[in-house]
Structure 1
């Protein structure tokens, strides 16, 4: 793996860089062949909070996790745990389905079957849809949708864009501002 480590509001020292590479390098055990993609790591400090974002783009999968903590090294450990859970969850889901050769199933190294059968995380991470809502999408602009979202107290709102007629999603970002998701 090639590493692209950036720091915002902090200097990435050799010790920090080596620690990140060592920890992320341990993820290679989950793959048959080490990913050749570039691992993007963004380290930042805001308001005394250390934050790490890790993105590993692969052919059939995008691994991404972020974590905040008072201690940078603890944040790195926590983000690695998240990435490992994502890999295990994805591999378990893929193994449940019959896939043809060349599918994402073959990206991961073969592991002990008992690990996935006896691991409690498989049950915790399994997808369980508990409620379905149906509603008509009212045509509106993104600002009206953001106001509706705030009035409902939700973190996102699905609406039909009055100008384009497409289905869009407005959402509240972690920084308190708003984001808009539009189809291509």
Structure 2
């Protein structure tokens, strides 16, 4: 793994860089072959709280986690735990697929049983509700107003300028985000 570590409102010291590389580097044990991938790590401090965001692009999937804590080192530990859970979940899905497609075996190490998570609960992915609705053409500002009026945390709409399906969402910092297709 190649690390791309950057800081926002924080100087990334050698000790901090080494700690991130050591902790996030532990994730390599989950893969059979070393993954030639770049790990993008962003450390930021805002209002006295440290936030770490880690993005690991792998073949066919992007693993991403973010954690905020008063202590940056504790945030690093917490984000690694989140990443481990995500990798185990992804690995379980791959192992289920292997029964159908044997070509995927090289992606994961067969050392541990992966049909069960660490807390002995099987992964149950089931869609419990299906909703259909007409997309009304509107701009992003109108979509944010609709979302706030409905009290939702996201809103799907057809962008009147591009005719693409977009999503507006409320971010953790209270501001809004827009998701557009490429």
* TM, length-normalised to structure 1: 0.89
In 2, the alpha carbon distance for the partners of 1:81 and 1:121 equals 16
- Please state whether the residue corresponding to 1:116 is helix, strand or coil: coil
Q: Distance in 2 between matches of 1:7 and 1:34?
A: 26
For residue 152 of structure 1, report the CA deviation from its aligned partner. 0.7
Q: CA RMSD in A?
A: 1.8
1:61, CA displacement in angstroms? 2.1
1:116 partnered with 2:115: yes
* Structure 1 residue 126 displacement after superposition: 3.1
From the superposition, tell whether residues 163 and 25 of structure 1 become closer, same or farther in structure 2 (CA, over 3 Å). closer
Alignment of 1:152-167 (within 5 A): 152-167=150-165
1:69-116 per-residue CA deviation (whole Å, 9 max, x = no partner) reads: 111111000000011001000011121122241x4x532222222x53
| Structure 1: gaps spanning 5 or more residues | none
Partner in structure 1 of residue 136 of structure 2: 138
Runs of 4+ in structure 1 off by over 4 angstroms are none
Rounded Cα–Cα distance in structure 2 between residues aligned with 1:60 and 1:122: 25
- Tell me the secondary structure at the aligned position of residue 56 of structure 2: strand
Q: Mark the runs of 5 or more structure 2 residues left unpaired by the alignment.
A: none
- Counterpart of 2:169? 171
Could you say if the C-alpha distance between residues 121 and 4 of structure 1 is closer, same or farther in structure 2, counting changes exceeding 3 Å?
A: farther
1:51 aligns with 2:83: no
How many matched pairs? 180
When normalised by structure 2's length, the TM-score is 0.90
Tell me if 1:25 matches 2:19.
no
For the structure 1 residues 117 and 34, does the alpha-carbon distance in structure 2 shift closer, same or farther, using more than 3 Å as the test?
same
Q: Residue by residue, what CA displacement relative to the aligned partner does 1:110-160 show, whole Å, maximum 9, x if unpaired?
A: 2222x533743653x532322222212122221111100000111110112
Distance 2:165 2:117 in 1: 41
